[in-house]
Amino acid sequence: MTLVFAHRGYSQAYPENTMKAFKEAALAGAHGLELDVQLTKDGQLVVIHDEKVDRTTNGKGFVKDFTFKEIRKLDASYKKKRLLQKEPIPSLEEVLEWMTTNQIICNIELKNGVFPYKGMEEKVIDLIHTYKMKDRVILSSFNHYSIVYCYRIDQEIETAPLFSEGLYMPWVYAQSIGAKSIHPRHTAAPNELVRASIEYGIAVRPYTVNKEKDLQRFFAIGCSAVITDDPVKALQIRNR
Ligand code: G3P
Ligand code: CA
């Protein structure tokens, strides 16, 4: 049965990419999380979608120009005023540590398409080893060179290239780079493409699937998972 992954946590209702959004997704029954990582000036992996902190926090500037200590002082719940409590930008380590207390799956998206973030792949994979999370983590990126590199570092960790537009025969492409899955934008995932990929043994997890008719389509086809902002709605539709 298709699993439900909470995109940036339960981001429909809580500040995206925060521990609050991850914990609420788990409480709601999501099977997995999707989150984004960037690297600070002093080489720490932090969970935030944009290269800049401006959209989601009360700070300004590039993540790469903050030290970890500095970036932790920002409030990532700033744009969702109904949260009274401050929510710091999590470290990836904090998320993996919390995952030792539950069974949730984590899709880590390496946000290394704008800045190359030297050493990011090694740092992510080292942490996965430290927390023994090989079987519960999927590494994805729009930077497919990075996906290939992750596969070279550790072939036992599942990788998934992300793509937002039509990719010709993605199952052949995935097999050629050692990826066990693909994460297409939902608009780039027509039924024939999804069915053929599954038939060739490639798992498909489309993003970001929020509309009922799209969720129903992917549940009916039997995708491995849908990545959605609203895991509660997706689970309701799936379990009808
Ligand atoms: O991983 C799927 C999705 O998160 C990719 O797009 O921009 O939301 O990170 P974006
Ligand atoms: Ca993402």
Q: Cα separation of 41 and 71, whole Å?
A: 10
For tokens 């959209």, what's the residue? 55
Q: What mean pLDDT is predicted for residues 41-62?
A: 97
Per DSSP, the residues of 166-182 read --SSHHHHHHHTT-SEE
Q: What mean pLDDT is predicted for residues 122-143?
A: 98
The chain-wide mean pLDDT, for the chain, equals: 96
> If we measure between CA atoms, which residue out of 214, 161, 160 comes closest to residue 189?
214
Instruction: Say whether 186 is catalytic.
Output: no
Q: What mean pLDDT is predicted for residues 141-148?
A: 98
pLDDT at 80: 65
Q: Indicate whether 62 pLDDT > 90.
A: yes
Q: Indicate whether 129 pLDDT > 90.
A: yes
Q: How far does residue 36's CA lie from ligand 2's centre (Å)? A: 5
The answer to whether the CB of 87 is under 6 A from ligand 1 is no
Q: Indicate whether 150 pLDDT > 60.
A: yes
Ligand nearest to the Cα of 50, by number:
1
Q: What mean pLDDT is predicted for residues 198-211?
A: 98
One-letter amino acid for residue 50 of the chain: D
Instruction: Name the active-site residue from 31, 49, 183, 186.
Output: 49
> If we measure between CA atoms, which residue out of 23, 13, 16 comes closest to residue 47?
16
**Domains of the chain by range and CATH?**
3-36+106-238 (3.20.20.190)
The answer to whether the CB of 229 is under 6 A from ligand 1 is no
Task: Looking at the CA of residue 207, tell me the nearest atom of ligand 1.
Answer: 2
- Angle between helix axes 19-28 and 231-238 (nearest 10 degrees) is 20
Q: Cα separation of 230 and 30, whole Å?
A: 10
Q: Indicate whether 56 pLDDT > 70.
A: yes
The answer to whether the CB of 53 is under 6 A from ligand 1 is no
The answer to whether the CB of 158 is under 6 A from ligand 1 is no
Q: Indicate whether 81 pLDDT > 60.
A: no
| R_g of the chain, CA atoms, integer Å | 17
Q: How far does residue 42's CA lie from ligand 2's centre (Å)? A: 23
**Could you report the per-residue pLDDT of 165-183, keeping only the tens digit for each?**
978 899 999 999 999 999 9
Ligand nearest to the Cα of 164, by number:
1
Q: Cα separation of 142 and 146, whole Å?
A: 8
Summarize the chain as % helix, strand, coil (round to 5).
Answer: 35, 20, 45
Q: How far does residue 207's CA lie from ligand 1's centre (Å)? A: 7
Reduce the secondary structure of 107-120 to three states and give it as a string. EEEECCCCCCCCCH
Q: Indicate whether 140 pLDDT > 70.
A: yes
- The protein residue with its alpha carbon nearest to ligand 1, atom 2, reads 207
The answer to whether the pTM exceeds 0.95 is yes
Q: What mean pLDDT is predicted for residues 136-142?
A: 98
- Angle between helix axes 212-221 and 231-238 (nearest 10 degrees) is 50
Q: Cα separation of 33 and 4, whole Å?
A: 8
**Beta pairing class for 32-39 and 105-110:** parallel
Residue of higher predicted confidence among 77 and 232: 232
